Amino acid sequence: MPFYLRPRLFLWIGGVVVTSIAVYIFCQPSGIVLRQNIWADLTEAEAIEVLKYVHSASPELNLTAAINASLWDNFVHGIEVVHPNKEDALNFMAGISEHPPPRYARIAIHHGTSQEVYWDEYLLGPLPVSNETKIKPVEYHHRADLEHARNLVPDAASFKEWPYSIAQEVSDITQDLLQATINADGESNPDGLELTFRDPWVKDGHILRWCSFQRAGTRFGAGTLLPQGLYVKLDTTGRDPAKWKVLNWFYNGMLYNSTDEFRDAWRSPGFRKAPINRDGDWTRIEEPTSDVSSRDHPAPLMVHPGGARYQLYREAQYVSWMGFTFYWSFAQSTGVTLFDVRFRGERILYELGLQEAMSLYAGNDPIQGALAYLDSFFGMGRAMFELVPGYDCPIYADFMDTFIYDAERTQQRKRTICLFEYTADYPLQRHSTTFYVTISRNHYLVLRTTAVVGNYDYTVDYIFYLDGTIEFKVRASGYIQGAYFMPGESQEFGFRVHDQFATSMHDHIINFKVDLDIINSRNTLVKINIEPKTKSYSWSEGEPLSTMSLTRESISNETGFNWPANSETMYIVVNNETQNQWGENRGYRIMPGSGIGTPGHLVAKSPQSLGKSASWAFNDLWVTKQKDDEARSSSPRNAFNKDKPVVDFAQYVDGDNITQEDL
Ligand SMILES: *[C@@H]1O[C@H](CO)[C@@H](O)[C@H](O)[C@H]1NC(C)=O
Ligand SMILES: *[C@@H]1O[C@H](CO)[C@@H](O)[C@H](O)[C@H]1NC(C)=O
Ligand SMILES: *[C@@H]1O[C@H](CO)[C@@H](O)[C@H](O)[C@H]1NC(C)=O
Ligand SMILES: *[C@@H]1O[C@H](CO)[C@@H](O)[C@H](O)[C@H]1NC(C)=O
Ligand SMILES: *[C@@H]1O[C@H](CO)[C@@H](O)[C@H](O)[C@H]1NC(C)=O
Ligand SMILES: *[C@@H]1O[C@H](CO)[C@@H](O)[C@H](O)[C@H]1NC(C)=O
Ligand SMILES: *[C@@H]1O[C@H](CO)[C@@H](O)[C@H](O)[C@H]1NC(C)=O
């Protein structure tokens, strides 16, 4: 039987302190009912089983074992667990169904035998493999026009070698303009040149991409600070580099239509050269010396005198702390997701997890001017690096490993998740009178990961507070990706931060899915507006007074909306079929987060470099009806398929009635 302790009825408003804080602080969970984690990632044994099955049972896929495969073969590109349908999961968690929902794997296959290289996805299960196990293509609801997801850069090696050979052909020009040549054939001259690429796109059947010349740099990772202001546009249609073409060169504000045209211009008198962006001490992170003597003294440090106050069940990926309980699950594309988040036995959230991290840059050159990243492609879970105790997380934190299944091999990634309790430097509540003071310490629980996607480090936190608030927070660090400084132009898109280097403005929009279940899955989103009002009262003897009041409005259809100006609207998910003893609905307020300002949505209108791949970024908040076939707002395979994405979130918002529905 699940542990079920009926909590007192409060209006749960995240972030707003409610009355009975002392109750939360002194309450310990009086029992934990741990069920199998039905959302857990595939085990190594399951992954092996899946691979064996797909190799033996699917001759029509014509698979080559990854260890022997080239990009001209078909091979298993990725394996991921499929989360169970919500109703099945709830039945199991509630004990209505004794057996856990069947486990399935989703596998992505690289199809490399023809001119058009693509991925497609299959469902394989139930697991463990039995005579009932089957494999079938994943059906893309809403996306009848999509046959498969194209891979526009299938042959990573030739997609590098060929542009490098183009760069070698212009060595005389780069030597003159940039005083360097390309680091071809694996050379690693720090003052040599490398090429970086913006995602390719398809136009009139052609696969096009811009490349930027960057200095390699003496420090690993500083390359994004060293653009040289020279760019080349390539047509890499098809898989035969002999048929690829150089289209344009761009240098010092001039666009040239061919290499010959660029070379002629360079040779002609009056050709205008731009200064070089050189590496130097300015790309260092560490200060070489410090004359602040007190820096050598130990800094304040948090300690954990009595040991952890949470219960961590590593195998089950389950945590219990101060009445909160939750399971977590890991995926290579999205990192950590929480499931079945409860307070004192009562479910608050069915699911809470990152879906996609998008960034869109602006600038005056062909790279920065249209650069867009969808980081689940690189893998917000796959990119999780080892956390540093005492720096990323307190020294006393618990650290957990994750497993990556890559090219049919398992990689254990050590210490990629940490869990710890922390005490804020301010109290949760306080009050003093002449005769007494009441004050509560402010402890919170953090589950943290850091994904290092290229130059960026995203730290993703899930945080539980004693006032009932559950917060997710993303912090970005790492190196900026900036632009070659162009006087009079770069200032429109950033700030000059070195001799020939400017920042590049960009939006980071990170999408999370929040499946709140207030009491049960029948919920309503209510907008509470704070409005100016003029009202006369009997006690004002009829004189109209300028004041304000609340209006309540249920959102009846799936829609997107933004954080209001002046915080004049509150968004609250309630269950309007149950009330507390004073007749108020129980609910959770959705707030824009603490400490990092109000998160924004995309400023650019329908940028071509995103197409339909991230339409969730156009508003701050969306509400849709929960559907098992709308489990994620994005796909790691949206990246090269922006006009016909694998997941087109806009199609989820199709007018469903959402009053007292699963949201
Ligand atoms: C890889 O290729 C070698 C040589 O053809 C073969 O002996 C081996 O069985 C292959 N490995 C797998 C896992 O198929
Ligand atoms: C199977 O794949 C191989 C390359 O691994 C390819 O040469 C062959 O043509 C493919 N067979 C079919 C029927 O597609
Ligand atoms: C699968 O095998 C079991 C025995 O192991 C048998 O009872 C069952 O009928 C089989 N099912 C199918 C679909 O063949
Ligand atoms: C380069 O091509 C564009 C159109 O593609 C054309 O407008 C322009 O005149 C060309 N420039 C030169 C110098 O030929
Ligand atoms: C629940 O919501 C519906 C739809 O907005 C509304 O008609 C009804 O009055 C609400 N019930 C309660 C008890 O608030
Ligand atoms: C809202 O939902 C109702 C009921 O499903 C439907 O009839 C109506 O067309 C929807 N409205 C919009 C604007 O989609
Ligand atoms: C939406 O559903 C609720 C509850 O089922 C119902 O009361 C309401 O009339 C529906 N709204 C519309 C516009 O159909």
Give per-residue pLDDT as tens, 427-436: 999 999 999 9
H or E element in which residue 562 lies? none
Q: For a substitution probing ligand 1, which of 64, 68, 75, 76 has the most ligand atoms within 8 Å of its CB?
A: 68
522 C-alpha to ligand 7 centroid (Å)? 13
Measuring from atom 11 of ligand 6, which residue has the nearest CA? 655
Annotated active-site residue 396? The verdict is: no
CA distance 148 to 155: 18
| C-beta of 659 in contact with ligand 6 (< 6 A) | no
When pLDDT is averaged across residues 451-480 and rounded to a whole number, the result is 94
Q: In this structure, are 386 and 485 located in the same domain?
A: yes
Measuring from atom 7 of ligand 1, which residue has the nearest CA? 68
Q: In this structure, are 163 and 131 located in the same domain?
A: no
Q: In this structure, are 142 and 160 located in the same domain?
A: no
Q: Are the C-beta atoms of residues 601 and 616 closer than 8 Å to each other? A: no
User: Residue 164: what pLDDT?
Assistant: 95
| C-beta of 311 in contact with ligand 2 (< 6 A) | no
Instruction: Single out the catalytic residue among 53, 104, 456, 465.
Output: 456
Query: Which amino acid appears at position 563 of this protein?
Result: W
Q: Are the C-beta atoms of residues 18 and 11 closer than 8 Å to each other? A: yes
Measuring from atom 6 of ligand 7, which residue has the nearest CA? 659
- Using the 3D structure, point to which of 260, 279, 298 is the last residue of a domain: 279
Q: Does residue 21 lie in a domain region?
A: no
Q: Does residue 249 lie in a domain region?
A: yes
In the predicted structure, residue 332 carries a pLDDT above the cut 70? yes
When pLDDT is averaged across residues 91-101 and rounded to a whole number, the result is 94
Q: Does residue 396 lie in a domain region?
A: yes
Annotated active-site residue 375? The verdict is: yes
Q: 109-156 pLDDT, tens per residue?
A: 999 999 999 999 999 999 999 999 999 999 877 766 677 899 998 887
CA distance 500 to 278: 8
Q: In this structure, are 128 and 182 located in the same domain?
A: no
CATH number at residue 268: 3.10.450.40
Q: How sure is the predictor about 296, in pLDDT bands with cuts at 50, 70 and 90?
A: confident
Q: Does residue 87 lie in a domain region?
A: yes
Q: In this structure, are 525 and 388 located in the same domain?
A: yes
CATH number at residue 625: 2.70.98.20
Q: In this structure, are 340 and 448 located in the same domain?
A: yes
Q: In this structure, are 142 and 189 located in the same domain?
A: no
285-to-220, 221, 392, 586 alpha-carbon distances in Å: 11, 11, 17, 49
Q: Does residue 308 lie in a domain region?
A: no
User: Residue 222: what pLDDT?
Assistant: 84
User: Residue 288: what pLDDT?
Assistant: 66
Domain that holds residue 160: 156-279
Q: Does residue 70 lie in a domain region?
A: yes
For the entire predicted model, the pTM comes to 0.92
Q: For a substitution probing ligand 6, which of 656, 657, 661 has the most ligand atoms within 8 Å of its CB?
A: 657
- Burial per residue of 18-47, b for 16 or more beta-carbon CB atoms within 10 angstroms, e otherwise: eeebeebbebebeeeeeeebbbbbbeeebb
Residue 407: how many CB atoms within 10 A of its CB? 14
Nearest-CA neighbor of 453 among 358, 353, 328? 358
Q: Are the C-beta atoms of residues 370 and 607 closer than 8 Å to each other? A: yes
Atom of ligand 3 nearest to the CA of 132: 13
In the predicted structure, residue 294 carries a pLDDT above the cut 90? no
In the predicted structure, residue 525 carries a pLDDT above the cut 80? yes
Q: In this structure, are 320 and 230 located in the same domain?
A: no
Mean pLDDT of the chain: 90
Q: Which residue has the tokens 């136009």?
A: 203
Residue percentage of the chain with pLDDT more than 70: 94
15-to-158, 348, 434, 466, 620 alpha-carbon distances in Å: 53, 15, 29, 10, 18
At what angle are helices 156-169 and 171-178 packed, to 10 degrees? 70
Q: Are the C-beta atoms of residues 477 and 392 closer than 8 Å to each other? A: no
Q: Are the C-beta atoms of residues 486 and 253 closer than 8 Å to each other? A: yes
Q: 35-52 pLDDT, tens per residue?
A: 899 999 999 999 999 999
DSSP single-letter state for residue 96: S
Measuring from atom 9 of ligand 5, which residue has the nearest CA? 576
Q: Which residue has the tokens 């079938």?
A: 136
Q: Does residue 32 lie in a domain region?
A: no
| C-beta of 554 in contact with ligand 6 (< 6 A) | no
- Using the 3D structure, point to which of 116, 150, 184 is the last residue of a domain: 150
Q: What's the structural domain count of the chain? A: 3
- The two tokens of residue 512 are 């999370």
Q: In this structure, are 428 and 522 located in the same domain?
A: yes
CA distance 396 to 385: 19
In the predicted structure, residue 72 carries a pLDDT above the cut 60? yes
Q: In this structure, are 49 and 163 located in the same domain?
A: no
What are 54's strand-pairing partners?
A: none
Q: How sure is the predictor about 285, in pLDDT bands with cuts at 50, 70 and 90?
A: confident
Q: In this structure, are 109 and 167 located in the same domain?
A: no
* H runs (alpha helix) in 152-222: 156-169, 171-178
- Using the 3D structure, point to which of 259, 279, 299 is the last residue of a domain: 279
Q: In this structure, are 499 and 559 located in the same domain?
A: yes
Vertex 55: Cα angle to 53 and 58 (nearest 5)? 85
Peptide linkage before 126 cis (omega within 30 of 0): yes
Q: How sure is the predictor about 243, in pLDDT bands with cuts at 50, 70 and 90?
A: very high
In the predicted structure, residue 16 carries a pLDDT above the cut 70? no
CA distance 235 to 437: 72
Atom of ligand 5 nearest to the CA of 577: 13
User: Residue 144: what pLDDT?
Assistant: 62
73 C-alpha to ligand 2 centroid (Å)? 7
250 C-alpha to ligand 4 centroid (Å)? 12
CA distance 165 to 22: 69
Q: How sure is the predictor about 23, in pLDDT bands with cuts at 50, 70 and 90?
A: very low
Measuring from atom 11 of ligand 3, which residue has the nearest CA? 131
Q: Does residue 13 lie in a domain region?
A: no
At a CB cut-off of 8 Å and minimum separation 6, what does 293 contact? none
Among 157-166, 391-400, 609-618, the minimum mean pLDDT is found in 157-166
In the predicted structure, residue 14 carries a pLDDT above the cut 50? no
- Ligand 5 lining (C-beta closer than 6 Å): 524, 554, 576, 659
Q: 535-554 pLDDT, tens per residue?
A: 999 999 999 999 999 999 99
In a 10 Å sphere around its CB, with 0-12 CB exposed, 13-18 middle and 19+ buried, how is residue 434 labelled?
Answer: exposed
Nearest-CA neighbor of 355 among 147, 647, 557? 647
389 C-alpha to ligand 5 centroid (Å)? 50
Q: Are the C-beta atoms of residues 392 and 418 closer than 8 Å to each other? A: yes
258 C-alpha to ligand 1 centroid (Å)? 46
DSSP of 309-366 = SSEEETTTTEEEETTEEEEEEEETTTEEEEEEEEETTEEEEEEEEEEEEEEEE--SST
H or E element in which residue 410 lies? strand 409-423
- Number of alpha helices (DSSP H) and beta strands (DSSP E) in the chain: 6, 34
